[in-house]
Structure 1
Amino acid sequence: MKKYEKKSFLTSVFLFFIPLAIFSSIVLYMYHQDKIKDIEQNILYQMRDYTFDFKSDKFILDVVEYDNNKELFKLYKCKEGLCSYFKAADSGLYLLKVVFPQEKYEKIYKDFIVKIFKFSVVVMFILLFLSFGFAFYSLRPMREALYLLENFLKDIIHDLNTPSTSILLNSKLLKRHGDFEEIERIELSAKTISSLYKNLEFITQKGIEKNENISVSQVINSKIDVLHKLYPTIIFKKDIEDFFIKTNENALERILDNLLTNACKYNKKNGIVHIIASKNKIIIKDTGIGIKNVSRVFDRYYKETDRGLGIGLSIVKKLCSALDIKITIKSKIEEGTSVELVL
């Protein structure tokens, strides 16, 4: 089950189970209160029957002086347990005090609580089972829709690759007959489409092998050369030390391409993109518009403007995890963003 499926599944379980659990708890509490009243009422009637023959060993009998404040045939809580008062035969000066001992009442109450607890556990398990069933059932249409969407995406990725590759090849052939600005623009646009294709390709990719020895400065410089043509008003500053790492070249290119493109795309006019690369660390700083909600930038399809698809940084996070790269983003609105990669 994928991350977004788990989130949807758990949300459905929570939304179904919690209201039912609350409702069941209220019903069980009301049942508990009524049952306690029934138990006490039953004890009171047994006390009354006891005053006729005094043959039960459940109760303790005492004789007390008559008191107007003591209501007859009513259950009281006294220090000995539960007690009630009845008229003594042929006497108006004394009352019979019948006591149901506290330890006996606690045993009856404890047995009842154990039964209701067992019943509550069974009810909660049934509700949880129903909640899981409901969640699986509600997840089914979403899974079917996502399955269709993923297949559609795979077809789009496959069909996108052919025309973008063809445009790049033909633009390079046209350059042999004359290097015109229009041809360069076509080539840059084709590279942009190719970059989008590679991003989409990584969404459906499963495993990434780290078996290539890559020059970090070479990858960064090649990306800057392309971006400088696409964003001619952006000023690029470089403090790059050349070093090699063993990783996946295509994946590392995707990470840097997305981060550098964002640094340019969301920068201000005549803004600066500063790239610092030293041993096992790359820092990309820009003077752009900043990010409002840094904690959500890696969520797929999350975006703070109308530009883009909202998949670039989610792919970056996925690739960083696959390549064991630690990524940290700090940002201030209208001041800029800093991204640090620890390789």
Structure 2
Amino acid sequence: MKNYEKKSFFTTLYLFFIPLLILSGTVLYMYHEDKIKDIEENILYQMKDYTFDFKGKKFSLDIIEDDKQKKLFKIYHCKEGLCAYFQTISTAPYLLKVIYDKSKYEKLYNQFLIKIFNFSIIILLLLFLLSIGFAIYSLRPMREALFLLENFLKDIIHDLNTPATSILLNSKLLRKRGDFEEIERIELSAKSIASLYKNLEYMSPNTINKDENVSIEEIINEKVEVLQKIYPKINFTKKLNSLILKSNKNGINRIIDNLITNACKYNKKNGQVHIVINKNQLIIKDTGIGIKNTKKVFQRYYKENTSGLGIGMSIVKQLCEVLNINIYIESTLGKGTQITLVFPEDIN
């Protein structure tokens, strides 16, 4: 289950389960109060029967003075347990105090609590399963819509690949007739379209080969050379040590391409991009607009600007996980962003 699906699932689950839990809790509380009244009322009638013949050991008996405050035929909670007062046969100012022992009442009450607790667990489990079923069912329309959207994007990008390739081939043929600045611009635009196509190819990079020798320095130099022409007002500074990995070249290429391109795309006018290779770390730091929410930046389709599709950083994160690369982001709004890639130790 993808991150946005998990978020939607748990949100729906909580919104459905919690009201049901509150409602069932209220109903169980009302049932508890009503049942306790029934139990006490049943004991009261047994007390009344007891006053006719005083047989049995269920109740104990006492005679007290009538103080005119005690109501007859009513249950009281006294220190001995449950008590009720009845009129004596004689005309003397005394009352019969029938007592239901406290330990007996607690035992009866605890038995009732165990029953209601077991019933509550069953109800809770049923409500939870019902909520899970509802949450799963509610995901279906979103999954269908996203499935159609992803297929739509794949079809569009796939259709773009053919004209992009054609433009690149024809621009190379034109170069043979004459080298013009306009041809170079056409080539750069076509390469940008081709890069978008390659991004889509890595939207679900679960299994890729990791047995190629990849030169990080070489990839960075190639990317900077292209991006310097697209963003001529960006100042690039590089401090690159040799770093060769046993990994997947296309995957590493996608990661670095997205990161450096973003550093340029979301930079300020006449901004700077610093790229450093230090041991097994690659640091890309820019002086751009910064990122508002670094925790959400890796979520697919998340965008903080109107431009882009919101899939580049999601692909970067997935590729990093597949290639065992740790990625860290530090960003300050209005000042810039620093992204650090920590590659596996087993480098060549």
One fold, TM greater than 0.5?
yes
**1:171 Cα deviation from its structure 2 partner:** 1.1
Corresponding residue for residue 107 of structure 1? 107
Corresponding residue for residue 167 of structure 1? 167
Corresponding residue for residue 260 of structure 2? 260
**1:154 Cα deviation from its structure 2 partner:** 3.0
Worse overlay, 17-26 or 162-171: 162-171
CA deviations on 1:30-61 (whole Å, 9 max, x unpaired) are: 11111111111111121111111111321001
Question: Partners in 2 of 1:205 and 1:291 — Cα distance?
Answer: 25
The answer to whether the Cα contact below 8 Å between 2:4 and 2:299 also exists between their aligned partners in 1 is no
CA deviations on 1:225-272 (whole Å, 9 max, x unpaired) are: 000000001111011111211111111111111111111111111111
CA deviations on 1:193-250 (whole Å, 9 max, x unpaired) are: 0111111111144312211111111000000000000000111101111121111111
Question: Partners in 2 of 1:297 and 1:130 — Cα distance?
Answer: 33
Corresponding residue for residue 64 of structure 1? 64
Alignment map for 1:157-236 (pairs within 5 Å): 157-236=157-236
TM (norm. structure 2) is: 0.94
Give 1:59's aligned amino acid: F
- Listed as ranges, the gaps of 5+ residues in structure 2 are 344-348
Give 1:77's aligned amino acid: H
The answer to whether the Cα contact below 8 Å between 1:240 and 1:278 also exists between their aligned partners in 2 is yes
Worse overlay, 106-115 or 233-242: 106-115
Question: Do structure 1's residue 117 and structure 2's residue 117 form an aligned pair?
Answer: yes
Give 2:244's aligned amino acid: F
Give 1:270's aligned amino acid: N
**1:318 Cα deviation from its structure 2 partner:** 1.0
**1:149 Cα deviation from its structure 2 partner:** 2.6
Question: Partners in 2 of 1:341 and 1:150 — Cα distance?
Answer: 28
Question: Partners in 2 of 1:293 and 1:148 — Cα distance?
Answer: 28
Question: Partners in 1 of 2:279 and 2:136 — Cα distance?
Answer: 48
Worse overlay, 19-28 or 294-303: 294-303
Q: RMSD between aligned alpha carbons?
A: 1.5
**1:191 Cα deviation from its structure 2 partner:** 0.5
**1:10 Cα deviation from its structure 2 partner:** 2.6
Worse overlay, 107-116 or 146-155: 146-155
| Counterpart secondary structure, 1:329 | strand
**1:87 Cα deviation from its structure 2 partner:** 1.6
The answer to whether the Cα contact below 8 Å between 1:66 and 1:92 also exists between their aligned partners in 2 is no
**1:119 Cα deviation from its structure 2 partner:** 1.7
- Once the two structures are aligned, what percentage of the paired residues are identical? 64
Worse overlay, 147-156 or 262-271: 147-156
Corresponding residue for residue 298 of structure 1? 298
TM (norm. structure 1) is: 0.96
**1:20 Cα deviation from its structure 2 partner:** 0.9
Question: Partners in 1 of 2:5 and 2:306 — Cα distance?
Answer: 26
Give 1:18's aligned amino acid: I
Give 1:58's aligned amino acid: K
| Counterpart secondary structure, 1:296 | coil
Number of residue pairs the alignment of both structures matches: 343
Worse overlay, 201-210 or 22-31: 201-210
Seen in structure 2, the aligned counterparts of structure 1 residues 328 and 163 have a Cα distance that, compared at 3 Å, is same
CA deviations on 1:63-118 (whole Å, 9 max, x unpaired) are: 22332232222211111111111122113232211000011111211111111112
Question: Partners in 1 of 2:336 and 2:133 — Cα distance?
Answer: 47
The answer to whether the Cα contact below 8 Å between 2:267 and 2:286 also exists between their aligned partners in 1 is yes
**1:340 Cα deviation from its structure 2 partner:** 0.8
Give 1:230's aligned amino acid: I
